[in-house]
Chains A and B, each alone.
Chain A
Amino acid sequence: MIDRLDQIFVLLKHWLVGYLPGEWQAAAGVVVSVVVIIGLYPALFALTTVLERKGVGRIQNRLGPNRVGPYGILQPMADGIKSLTKEDIVPRSADAVVHFLAPIVLVVTVFMGFAVLPMGRNMVLVDMDAGLLFYFAMGASTELSVFMAGWSSRNKYSLLGAMRAVAQMISYEVALLLSSVVVVMATGSLSLVKIVEAQNHYTWGLPHWYIFTPWGLAGFLMYAIAATAETNRSPFDLPEGESELVAGYHTEYSGFKFALFFLGEYVAMFSISGLGSTLFLGGWSAPLAFLTWVPSWIWFFGKLLVSMCVFIWLRGTLPRLRQDQLMNFAWKFVLPMCLLNLFVVALWRFIGDGWLRWLVCSAILVLAYVGIGWEGMSRKRLGARSYRYAD
């Protein structure tokens, strides 16, 4: 019974597909999964927008939306109707074709990432051997759509936003990749299914998630920073800094195209959180051994929602970085830490089991963190600001 519940979506799919002749079944199975993914994540997106608005409201001691439906939970419907009925404006001097294609490219590439994410036991669309590589290939293509949007709009704000976005995404793409590589080194596989299986063991009831190792924790923190920057979330939301760039690369978008950008952004957050939990938090595996009877997909989506809440929490807390701070942080802190982490995971592998590797690896990482942090902080001149010409 519990196994059935765990596999309920897989069984449902087989039952649905079973009505078709044999040679069509494989293709139909893929279609069903794709339709479910395309339906499910926008629904989660709707839930997250209202969670975010209410959560950030509470953080600022406000109520948040509470007018549409009980406690404002129907707010996304109102937003959807609003964006559907709004006029779709294309600037006269815009490149109409590229302007039209940009949101579509964004949404398509973002959804492609879900193809390789295991969302539960046996719940993966394609079990690719190079799943992680495929994921990053798709993730990198979102930069293309962002630049398409910024360039085709023929608007200075859009272009500036797009250029910021591309600079930022390329910088943090490096950190994102390097922080994920440690997991590949430890597992010895690029397949996300294998990565989850490697973490799905328990000693003394505790899981073997990679986050519970020194290099895993460091890698996870670097991954979280890079993922926040990749998805253009606050505090790395310079590309759409509304105080300086109106709305960044989607300034010239209105109506449903704007909603698509919005959707793409949130779905990218889901997918990058999904990848993060797959790599470091054990994917669909339960956090404690005696909880393994709970269906695997509940754990996956639970981890997804928790990471969304962390995203919202961060957004409600941190102010936006400046461009130079952003770049300095990427190249002078995140990247050296990621490179060092590669070395540490290799050490971890070769020292072998025992308390020694815990001590050595933790010491190296903590020292590096404190050292780089101290170095970075000591350069920062605090105090009254001086103006060279205005004084």
Chain B
Amino acid sequence: MLGEGILKGLAETAKNFAGSFVSKERMTTVEYPEERLPLPEASRNFPFLVYDGSDWQAGLRCVACQICEKECPPKCIYIEKSKDKKPDYVGKLQIYPTKFDIDISVCMSCQICVEVCPFEAIKMNNEFELATDNRFGGLLLDRKELAKSNEYYHQIHPTEAAEVDARLAAEKAKAEAKAKAAADAAAAKAAGAPAPATPTRVAKPSEGERKS
């Protein structure tokens, strides 16, 4: 009959109206600044630099190889290499970035920098509350702002971070085994015929190790 549908609709909306005061699961609203949903593990936003240990400057994994800078499609990364060297996670001496800037107003979150990085040094952050009152300087993050600890990485992407840690540990173990083998070989050689220039010999296996 005419008007039946209208009455049905009115009943439905009345049910919604009354139900919204009673049942919690009807109200899907999350009142954002006070309440927030946990971010999914796969969420990503802008890159950050991972460091090991407690000192961000000493522990920075980045070796300023500039691959990410060259691969970045919108060219939002700027790196300056250091003149001196510092030991990396294996204990080998590497150069490090004196300047590592990412302009997140340019960054398009493509994650290519993360994929090309051979040192697991740059990863995607999921922090999204980056609003600032400074349009230019506020969105240009320097290496101090970009540096986040490995624990933080574990916190935001646990699965991925565990994989990365396992890979790094395996690499480190391999390097240590190799160094030990090299040292053993050197020791055996030294026992056979005493060599005059030990420091260069110690340096050589590490050179080979870098290529491997």
- Which residues of A are at the interface with B, using a C-beta cutoff of 8 A? 55, 58-63, 66, 313-314, 316-318, 369-370, 372-374, 376-377
Contact = CB atoms under 8 A, between A and B. Distances in A.
B195 interface: no
A60 B29 contact: no
A317 B9 contact: yes
5 contacts: A61-B19, A63-B29, A317-B10, A318-B6, A376-B2
Nearest to B16: A59
Contacts of B20: 58-59, 61
Contacts of B29: 62-63
B1 A58 contact: no
Contacts of B31: 63, 66
Interface string B8-27: 01101110110111000011
B3 interface: yes
Contacts of B17: 55, 58-59, 313, 316
B6 A377 contact: no
Given A58-B16, A59-B16, A317-B10, A369 B2 contact: yes
B27 A313 contact: no
A334 to B, nearest CB: 12
Given A60-B16, A317-B6, A374-B2, 12 more contacts: A58-B21, A59-B13, A61-B16, A61-B26, A62-B29, A63-B31, A66-B31, A314-B10, A316-B13, A318-B9, A373-B2, A374-B1
A376 to B, nearest CB: 7
B28 interface: yes
B122 to A, nearest CB: 39
A205 to B, nearest CB: 28
A316 B3 CA distance: 17
A318 to B, nearest CB: 7
A377 B9 CA distance: 18
Contacts of A59: 13, 16-17, 20
Contacts of B2: 369-370, 372-374, 376-377
A327 to B, nearest CB: 17
A373 B28 CA distance: 39
8 tightest A-B CB contacts, nearest first: A373-B2, A317-B13, A58-B20, A59-B13, A317-B9, A58-B17, A61-B26, A59-B17
Contacts of B3: 373
B36 to A, nearest CB: 16
Contacts of A58: 16-17, 20-21
A55 B16 CA distance: 10
Nearest to A370: B1
A369 B20 CA distance: 35
A59 B16 CA distance: 5
A373 B27 contact: no
B27 A61 contact: yes
Contacts of A313: 10, 13-14, 17
A322 to B, nearest CB: 16
A55 B13 CA distance: 10
B21 to A, nearest CB: 7
Given A58-B16, A369-B2, A376-B2, A63 B27 contact: yes
Contacts of A374: 1-2
Contacts of B21: 58
Q: Max chain B CB contacts within 10 Å: which of A314, A317, A369, A370?
A: A317
A66 B20 CA distance: 15
A67 to B, nearest CB: 9
A317 B20 CA distance: 15
Contacts of A60: 16
Contacts of B19: 61
